[in-house]
Amino acid sequence: MNEFIFIKGIRFNRASVDGMFGSDSEKVWNDGRAEVIAAEAKAAVRTAIRKQVGDTETILGTTADVTQLNAAAILAFIASIKTGDSFAKFRTTFMGTIESLVPPTEGADVYTQAQGFLQGVQSGDIILTAALKGLPEVIADMAGRSTGVATILAQAKAGVK
């Protein structure tokens, strides 16, 4: 079998690792193989997603759509709080804002669309990736990626590379 690992981006075979790392070679090799196997598994999952669901740009487009719906709902909520001195007034303002930002489709008002989606989730016909991953993993992913991107942006803003 032609197995390999990567060390600092350079590909090594078993004999090279044995020659370079001596008594530590078994651990270096096993750690490296575990990383290669994990990367291959991740690549296989991503290939399946790309083939069966959509390419990166398509999924990014869907993500942008959902993000815009979330932003619209939050902004409608904020605007409705300011104008609503009763729940009925709040609800009317909120739903009016939502429906003006995201008009209902043929024969389906926003309530009907929302209820249909939620029923799909409850029945298992719609599976949310966040539910599959679990809240702790989703929050950790969000925090890690947000912090990583923010750090890079802050460094760029400060002129650091």
Amino acid symbol at 34: A
Number of structural domains the chain divides into: 3
59 and 118 inside one domain: yes
pLDDT (average), residues 62-79? 90
74 and 107 inside one domain: yes
Residue 132 belongs to domain spanning: 128-161
Average pLDDT over the chain, rounded to whole? 90
CA distance 32 to 74: 45
84 and 113 inside one domain: yes
120 and 70 inside one domain: yes
pLDDT digits (tens, 9 = 90+) for 107-157: 778 888 889 999 999 999 999 999 999 999 999 999 999 999 999 999 999
CA distance 108 to 103: 10
Q: Are strands 5-7 and 10-12 parallel, antiparallel or unpaired?
A: antiparallel
What is the 8-class DSSP label of residue 108? B
CA distance 78 to 15: 64
105 and 71 inside one domain: yes
